[in-house]
Amino acid sequence: MPPTIPDKQWAQVIEKKGGPPVYKQIPVPKPGPDEVLVNIKYTGVCHTDLHAMNGDWPLPLKMPLVGGHEGAGVVVAKGELAKGIEVGDHAGIKWLNGSCLSCEFCKTADEPLCAEQQLSGYTVDGTFQQYAIGKAAHVSKLPEEVPLDAVAPILCAGITVYKGLKESGARPGQTVAIVGAGGGLGSLAQQYAKAMGLRVLAIDGGDEKRAMCEKLGAETFIDFTKTKDIVADVKAATPGGLGAHAVLLLAVSEKPFQQACDYVRSRGSIVAIGMPANAFVKAPVFETVVKMINIKGSYVGNRQDGVEAVDFFARGLIHAPFKVAPLEDLPKIFELMQQGKIAGRYVLEIPQ
Ligand code: NAD
Ligand code: ZN
């Protein structure tokens, strides 16, 4: 018996730039030929969803918009061209909802760089609703035994930090400074880094985040709200006082993007992942040259990065704290996020 799909559903809808999201009933969308319809059970709340609501980025936004891009659920319908995934499969909808699959970037497994990309919860409706659409080629097939609440944050935060760590080139035994370690991406970055054999130096603010980072395996925690000299503190905490081998910038403020080159070690890499509004990565040319610093950006991950990130999780290597709240509570969660008060991730439970 195919699942019964209602005509109407509950959703959080952003009706104007700046929000707030409005909890209301909207029609259930129908999947196109190459798409699937996923009955979302849980969805993480990423800081990107807040940037989207606030219109922080120079990228045109769909409006009205259903946000969300860390959705985990069950496939309930599929188009006739949707391959590799069946009704009844567990599936995840990610930030990259779809791409052309035929441009040079898609052909070379750089789908996040596709000019025709569709973004869940940004250019197409996302996962803050009961039924969401994803391109079959891009949805993540999830193993049945993986819990849908805990895996939801892997679908953006996990994939992104796993990819960022790979892009950093840091090798087992080396030290990675994770800036914004107490947030959603940061908490997962610490776990992936540990699983990849890296040593973690966590930077964030407040005692709750300190306690969480120490539990997640950070060897050192530096509180950016209290330290008098963050550069000296990072250097003191790294082998030989030389600085971090890699810096993962996940913070939602600009300052660390200007500071990192002072505490990365020579030959080290700085990976920009966080996207604070109107911010610049700035580095002195002299130090960049004579320290041979590698500064780069990293943007989500390709489909295989998604498979690998989920696989780390499925093998029990990734444990990051998350709190569960009902879909209705999204506005409250955005407020806490804006204030920097969330240690780890919030996952929304979608009413069934
Ligand atoms: P979050 O709000 O959960 O975490 C951000 C953390 O940064 C908070 O814990 C905050 O205290 C910390 N922070 C703020 N200023 C800091 C400073 N000066 N030093 C150290 N820490 C500081 O957000 P999140 O969901 O983890 O997302 C983080 C950023 O990553 C957002 O800008 C988001 O849009 C971006 N993002 C990028 C990608 C990508 O592919 N590049 C993917 C997902 C999210
Ligand atoms: Zn995200």
pLDDT more than 90, % of the chain: 99
Only one residue has tokens 């390709």, namely: 302
Residue 139 and residue 45 share a domain: yes
> Which ligand number lies closest to the CA of residue 273?
1
Find out whether the beta carbon of 23 lies less than 6 Å from any atom of ligand 1.
no
**Mean pLDDT of all residues in 234-249:** 97
Same domain, 34 and 136: yes
Task: Give the per-residue pLDDT at 16.
Answer: 96
CATH number at residue 141: 3.90.180.10
- Confirm whether pTM is higher than 0.75: yes
What is the structure's pLDDT at 2? 79
Per-residue pLDDT band for 179 (boundaries 50, 70, 90) equals very high
Say whether both 149 and 187 belong to one domain.
no
| Structure tokens that stand for 314 in this block | 């499925």
What DSSP assignment string belongs to 42-68? EEEE-HHHHHHHHT-SSS---SSEE--
Predicted confidence at residue 141, as pLDDT, reads: 98
Judgement on whether residues 289 and 339 belong to the same structural domain of the protein: no
pLDDT by residue (tens digit) across 284-328? 999 999 999 999 999 999 999 999 999 999 999 999 999 999 999
Q: How confident is the model at residue 150 (pLDDT cuts 50, 70, 90)?
A: very high
Residue 26 confidence (pLDDT) = 98
Ligand 1 site, residue 227, Cβ cutoff 6 A: no
Asked if residue 250 and residue 319 are part of one domain, the reply reads no
Q: What is the DSSP string of 283-309?
A: --HHHHHHTT-EEEE--S--HHHHHHH
What was the pLDDT predicted at 1? 76
- Contact between residue 170 and residue 246 where contact means Cβ atoms under 8 Å apart: yes
Mean pLDDT within 74-96: 98
Strand ranges across the sheet with 8-14: 21-27, 8-14, 65-66
Summarised one tens digit per residue, pLDDT across range 35-50 is 999 999 999 999 999 9
Domain range for residue 291?
158-297
**Cβ–ligand 1 contact at 230 (below 6 Å):** no
Please give the number of the atom of ligand 1 that sits closest to the Cα of 179: 20
**Residues 100 and 19 occupy one common structural domain:** yes
The verdict on residue 116 lying in a domain is yes
Return the SS3 of 140.
strand
Residues 61 and 193 in one domain: no
Once rounded to an integer, what is the mean pLDDT over residues 83-93?
97
Average pLDDT (16-20) is 96
pLDDT for 11 equals: 98
If one counts the domains in the chain, the total is: 2
Same domain? 118 vs 42: yes
- Cis (ω within 30 of 0) for the bond into 20? yes
- What CATH number does residue 274 fall under? 3.40.50.720
End position of a domain, from candidates 297, 323, 341: 297
Q: What is the pLDDT of residue 270?
A: 98
Residue 3's pLDDT is what?
87
Share of residues in the chain with pLDDT > 70 (%)? 100
Same domain, 214 and 239: yes
DSSP secondary structure of 99-119: --S-SHHHHTT-GGG-TT-EE
Q: Is the CB of 185 under 6 A from ligand 1?
A: yes
